[in-house]
Amino acid sequence: MNEVVDMPVVKSTYKSPFGFSNRHVQTIFPTLFRRVSSIPYSRVRLETGDGDFSDIDCFFGNNRRVAILVHGLEGNSGRKYMRGMAHAFSSAGFDVVSLNLRGCSGEQNRLMRMYHSGDTGDLAGAVAYVKGLCRYESCHLAGFSLGGNIVLKYMGENGEGIDPFIQGAVAVSAPCDLRSCSVEMEKRSNTIYMKNFLRTLVRKVKEKEKLYPGKVSSEGAASIRTFREYDDRYTSKLHGYTDAEDYWANASSLRFLERIAAPTLLINALDDPILGEGCYPYKAAECNPLFYLETPEHGGHVGFISRGRGAYWHEIRAVEFVLSHVKMNG
């Protein structure tokens, strides 16, 4: 395993097991075949300042440090990658809080708006809740895919003003440049992923239409084939952006990375089928000694499969990184 080093561009030691070097196998296998035991979560509903709510699922013990996890696009706290990371942090002496983004906890949120890649407000609310419990000495963040972009953007937005309570963060398979990811997703090889995402996104639009008739329309939504079309019509309009390009430019974490002021690790596999060329920010890592970038040759999208039924490599790596910096920060 890796040791934390002074160089922010980390040479990865991840090696995919025999038969798992294909990027699509890495991406799909964990979803279909990985076995991860359930988590005895307790749910807490957080009322938001705009009259909505977000649900967090808490795995509390008697630990003095806590990890907040954020899922990916159309995910939730119950996804295998979330449960796997929750187990990894719990085994290392952390309590765990898994944030369900709006509309992802099994109940539609109240407002017309939903969630999106650049919305850090509900993560801030989860941090405030956890800190308000007055039982933890430190907190670390971990996000996957869309949730990874949210975590990185949150860390960069706060910059040197980050609350010392937040000692660091890890992002896995994060689309930090949304535009290049959208272009990548339009490739024929990614059709299966595009269709899967759009199926649930369009379903949510139809649910919103029932709640807000005349304000949200699903007419023609079934013909949408790309993120550009979806983000142009729905994401941007529901969340105050002009169009897809405006949304991508402002919601991407890429432009915030050089401002990160607490140890933060980004793990993006070079063979990730979803990430575009802008999602490997070597320049930001070279400019910011607190932003670590690790780009394994293999791993797919939130894959990083390991042999056996235990933790996957990225889970072990995330905990290792966090514990190293907890120790360093005293």
Identified catalytic residue from 117, 180, 272, 325:
272
Residue entry with tokens 């160089």: 7
* Phi, psi of 100, deg, nearest 5: -95, 120
Residue entry with tokens 């807000």: 212
Measure CA 162 to chain center. Answer: 19
What is the 8-class DSSP label of residue 220? Answer: T
For residue 163, indicate whether it is catalytic.
no
| Sequence-separated (6 or more) residues with CB below 8 Å from residue 33 | none
CA–CA separation, 64 and 285 (whole Å): 30
CA–CA separation, 292 and 4 (whole Å): 9
**DSSP per residue over 268-328, as a string?**
--TT-SS--GGG--HHHHHH-TTEEEE--S--TTTT---SSSS--HHHHHHHHHHHHHHHH
Determine how β-strand 95-100 pairs with β-strand 53-59.
Answer: antiparallel
Identified catalytic residue from 54, 90, 138, 145:
145
Residue 59 half-sphere exposure, CB side, CA atoms within 13 Å? 26
Residue type, 290: L
For residue 272, indicate whether it is catalytic.
yes
| Ordered strands of the 65-70 beta sheet | 9-10, 291-294, 264-267, 166-172, 138-144, 65-70, 95-100, 53-59, 42-47
Residue entry with tokens 């937005």: 157
CA neighbor of 133 nearest in space, from 52, 50, 71, 68: 68
CA–CA separation, 82 and 171 (whole Å): 12
Per DSSP, the three-state class of 147 is helix
Would you put residue 325 in left (φ > 0), alpha (ψ -120 to 50) or beta? Answer: alpha
Identified catalytic residue from 71, 140, 301, 314:
301
For residue 145, indicate whether it is catalytic.
yes
Q: Supply the residues annotated as catalytic.
A: 145, 272, 301
